[in-house]
Amino acid sequence: MTGTPQLTLDTPYAVDAADVKAYDEQGFVKLSGVASRELVEAYEPEVTAKVIELNTMHLPLAERSTYKKAFLQVTNLWRESAAVRELVFARRFAQIAADLLGVDGVRLYHDQALYKEAGGGLTPWHADQYYWPLSTDRCCTLWLPLQETPLEMGPLAFAARSHHFSYGRELAISDESEAAIGRAVAEQGFPFVEEAFALGDASFHSGWTFHHAGPNTTQIPRRVMTVIYIDADMIISEPTNRNQEIDLEAWFPGARPGEIPDTELNPVLYRRAGKREP
C-alpha cells in the first residue's frame, strides 16, 4: 500500500489525559478518528479476501455452537499478507495502546479478524485474559470495524469498571459465561455501554474487561480487525488453565513462563523515543 493510507498508519494519534483516565477507570475507551475512511477502504478488501481464503468454518449457522455462531475467526493474518501486516504493525495504533497502558512500548500478541456473518449470533460475555498466560494486566485489544457498525450489526459492548471484578474470570466464552457473567454484571450495577461505531472509530479494552456483542440482524457481515498488544516487557506467567497452555504454545513459540516473549511472532511494534530494548 502506498500514499495517504500508509502515511496515516504512521501518524501519531493524540491520546489525551481524559482518554487515559477513561481507560483506567472504565476498562475500555472508544476513540474517534483512529483510522481514516481512506485507510479502512484501502485495507478492508485485503482483510476480507484473506478471511474468505483462510476461514475453516463451513457449517451452516443452525448447526453451530453458540460460540461458533458468534463470528468467523482467523488469526495472525499479518503472516499471510504484506498489506495486512502493514495494518497490524501500524505504529499509530501501537502508540495508542502504549499510551493507554502507560508503558514504554508494546509488542504484538496476535491479531484476529472477527467477522460476524449476516444472521450471526451473539458473542457471549467473557474476559479475554482468561485465555492469556500473562503476568500483568498491561495488555489491551484494538477493535477496529471495517465498516460503519450500527447496533443492529452487533458492535462490541462493555461492562464499564468490570476489569477490577474477579468473578467469572475462570469462565471460557460459552452459554455458561453469557448467563453467569451477564447476571453478575447486572447485580454489580456495572454500566452497560453499547454504541454504534462510525467508520474510523475504534475501541481499546483491557484483558479483564467483560464484554459481549449482540447478534448481527442485518444482511451485511460485520467485518472487524483486532490487534492484541502486550507490554513490551511483559513476563509470561504459568498457565492456569488448558486454554492458556494452548495459547502459550501457539502465540509464544519457544518461550516459557518467566521469560519475555521475544519471539518471531511477538515483535515490538512501538517504543517511546529514547527507550531501548532491555
Position 124 in a domain: yes
Distance in angstroms (rounded) separating the CA atoms of residues 59 and 256: 36
Position 36 in a domain: yes
Position 194 in a domain: yes
Please tell me the total count of domains within the chain.
Answer: 1
Position 252 in a domain: yes
Q: Which domain holds residue 184?
A: 4-267
Task: Please give the helix or strand (H or E) that residue 73 lies within, else none.
Answer: strand 72-75
Position 107 in a domain: yes
* Model-wide pTM > 0.85: yes
CATH number of the domain where residue 57 is located: 2.60.120.620
Position 160 in a domain: yes
What are the cell numbers at 220?
451485511
pLDDT, average across residues 217-239: 97
pLDDT digits (tens, 9 = 90+) for 201-224: 999 999 999 999 999 999 999 999
What 8-state DSSP symbol labels residue 100?
H
Position 273 in a domain: no
What is the pLDDT at residue 64? 83
CB 202 within 8 A of CB 117: no
Position 91 in a domain: yes
pLDDT at 7 > cutoff 90? no
